[in-house]
Structures are given as structure tokens and as C-alpha cells.
Amino acid sequence: MSAPFRSGPVTVRVPATSANLGPGFDSLGLALALHDELTAEVAPRLTVEVEGEGAEDVPRDERHLVVRALHAGLRAAGVEVPGVALRTRNVLPHGRGLGSSSAAIVGGLVLARGLLEDGSALDDDLLLDLATELEGHPDNVAPALLGGFVVSGTGTGADARAFAVPSPVAPGVSAVVLVPPGAVATTAARGLLPATVPHADAATNAGRAALLVVALGHRPDLLLRATEDRLHQEQREPAMPETLRLVHALRADGVPAVVSGAGPTVLAFVGAGVGAAGIDPQDVMDRGPRGWDVHHVDVGGSGAAVLAG
């Protein structure tokens, strides 16, 4: 069993992500400087140890999402799946809109590549396809894998593979994430969305999403207008009323605030170039409701990576 595998453990660090960013529903995603660390090595049998977020809730067998992704990666490489000893140190809160499931999926796939003596068969294009299949859409898995700010989607018909195109982030832009104590299931939040939307709203969102790519890369003074949304945030208010109240209050004061992913976390862009006069991160952090966790984080950093040593 040891022939195709490296000896000793492999550790992967994978970032949090924020998807949608207002108008970019299921198409825009951004890596954030909060990370989970996952360590695995070939072992006589499967064992799973979990530290940190989700330690009381996640399964300790083949149902664990990191294990499922790791196995999928090894099967895609044509390798017999061995026993694995997995240890996770979870920082990303579960069910809060910061890409915890995408981090688990991408982390497991990158672990699979790292465990192989020759992981070249598991290139980024294949891992993106596998991650998208496991997650259902690429908006979070793409920045978790590649880092940075990513425009992503899937093709149709014969060209159904996922695609991901990196886009720049202007220097000096960062984010404050305001994380409520309670989770909201992505399925519940998505279930609140209507089956159809008015043409005018779709057109407005298309324009704002295009503007957001320009604003985040080159014109952060335009981020407030560029983060306007008409397709999903207000529709999800019944599941997260406090989140939407905070978004409305921040935006009324000129802060480019959005629902992170499916919520309920709020993400606000901050920095010297954001808005007409710049936005002090501490001013936004001080707006966090009682009981919420608040973090000032860099954005657009590296994706999942095997740690040296």
C-alpha cells in the first residue's frame, strides 16, 4: 500500500471564503485570511480527530466531508484508497457563510494530492471539477483552491466543466467579518429564493457584478455602489433578520456591507481607498452586535497549500 504514497503526515492550510459579495450570486468568491489546518497520513485504518469548530458535531467516519473529498481525489487519481489518520484544527465557523464546507472539500482534495508521491494527475483543473461536483457550485471552492478574488461558474452541454478566472484585488482593501452565534443552513437560505426574478433586477445585478470586478481590482471608491444586490439578500431576511438590519445600517453610513455567502455573517469592505474618504476597520468592528465574533482580515490571499515540513 505504501508504493504510491509519501511517508509521514501531510498538512494542508485552506482559507475561509466569502461568496456572492452582493451582486455576484453563485459567481464571485474571495479568499479570506482565516484558515483551517488539516493533517493526514496513510494508516492501518481510518481515524478522525477534530479540534475547534464543529468538534462536537461532525462525524468521525467516512461521512466526514474531508474524508469524502480525500477519497474522491484518490479515486480520481486511480489509486486504491488506504486507511488514513486525519486530524483537523477548525477555525472556520460552520453554517455561517464563510465557506467551511468548501474548505473541507478543497482541503481533502489537496491532501489527496499531497499524500501521493506523484500527485500531478490531480492538477488544479481536475480538483476544481471534483470540488464543484461535491459542493454543487464553484463560487466558494474556487477561491479556497486558488486563492484571491475569483470569477467562476460552470459550462453547459458538452462543456459542463467548472471554470475559474482570478481577478485582482486593489492594495489596501481588507474586510471586517461580523459573525453571529447562530448558524443558518445553506439549504434553508437558498430555499427562500424565488424561482424567477424580474428582468430589471437581473439586469441591475449583472451591471453591479461587472462593476464589482472593476471596483475591487482598481476602484475601491466604487465598492458601495458595486455591492448592491437585488436577487438574494433581501429575500433571505426571514432567516437572518439581524444580519439584514446590520447590512442596512452599515450601508446607510456608506460602508460596503454584504451578506457573506448564504449568511448569516456580514462582510464589510474597509481600508484607506474604500469609499470617498476611506473606512477605518475599527469603526466597523465596533458596530458588531453583542455576542457576535468580529475579525478584521486580509482578503485575496493564497488558496489551499501544503505546508512545508
What are the Cα distances from residue 42, in Å, to 10, 84, 87, 115?
10, 5, 12, 8
For residues 3-9, average pLDDT: 88
pLDDT tens readout for residues 44-57: 999 999 999 989 99
Task: Please tell me the predicted confidence (pLDDT) of residue 1.
Answer: 45
d(CA 146, CA 133): 17
Give, rounded to a whole angstrom, the gap between the first and last alpha carbons of the chain.
23
Pairwise CA distance, residues 16 & 106, whole Å: 11
- Judging by DSSP bridges, how do beta strands 174-179 and 266-270 pair with one another? antiparallel
* pLDDT tens digits for range 245-274: 999 999 999 999 999 999 999 999 999 999
pLDDT band at 221, cuts 50/70/90? very high
The answer on pLDDT for 210 being more than 50 is yes
pLDDT tens-digit series, residues 98-150: 999 999 999 999 999 999 999 999 999 999 999 999 999 999 999 999 999 99
Q: Which residue's C-alpha cell is 490531480? A: 122
How far, CA to CA in Å, does 135 sit from each of 54, 83, 160, 201? 18, 24, 15, 27
Binding-site sequence positions: 93-103
pLDDT surpasses 90 at 159: no
pLDDT band at residue 309 using 50, 70 and 90 as cut-offs? low
Question: Is residue 220 very low, low, confident or very high in pLDDT (cuts 50, 70, 90)?
Answer: very high
Record the cell numbers describing residue 186, joined without a space. 445553506
From the annotation, which residues make up the binding site for ATP? 93-103
pLDDT of residue 186: 82
Q: Please state the rounded mean pLDDT for residues 228-256.
A: 96
Burial 203-227 (b: 16+ CB within 10 A, else e): ebbeebbebbbebbeeebbbbbebb
pLDDT at 157 over 80: no
Which of 3.40.50.2300, 3.30.230.10, 1.10.101.10, 3.40.367.20 is the CATH number of 10-167+301-306? 3.30.230.10
User: 174-298 belongs to which CATH class?
Assistant: alpha beta
- Statement: residue 156 has pLDDT above 90: no
Judge whether residue 275 has pLDDT over 60. yes
Q: What is the pLDDT of residues 16-27, one digit of tens each?
A: 999 999 999 999
Cα separations in angstroms, 99 against 95, 105, 139, 143, 241: 8, 10, 10, 10, 21
The model's pTM is 0.95
b/e for 43-64, b at 16 or more Cβ within 10 A?
eeebebebeebbeeebeeeeeb
Q: What is the pLDDT of residue 276?
A: 82
Is residue 2's pLDDT more than 60? Answer: no
Backbone angles phi, psi at 165, to 5 degrees: -125, 115
- CB-neighbour burial class of residue 198 (10 A; exposed 0-12, middle 13-18, buried 19+): exposed
Q: Is the model's pLDDT at 6 over the cut of 50?
A: yes
Is residue 285 scored above 50 in pLDDT? yes
pLDDT in tens, 63-104: 999 999 999 999 999 999 999 999 999 999 999 999 999 999
Q: What are phi and psi of 83, to 5 degrees?
A: -70, 150
Per this entry, what is the length of the chain?
Answer: 309
Does residue 308 surpass a pLDDT of 90?
Answer: no
Domain ranges of the chain: 10-167+301-306, 174-298
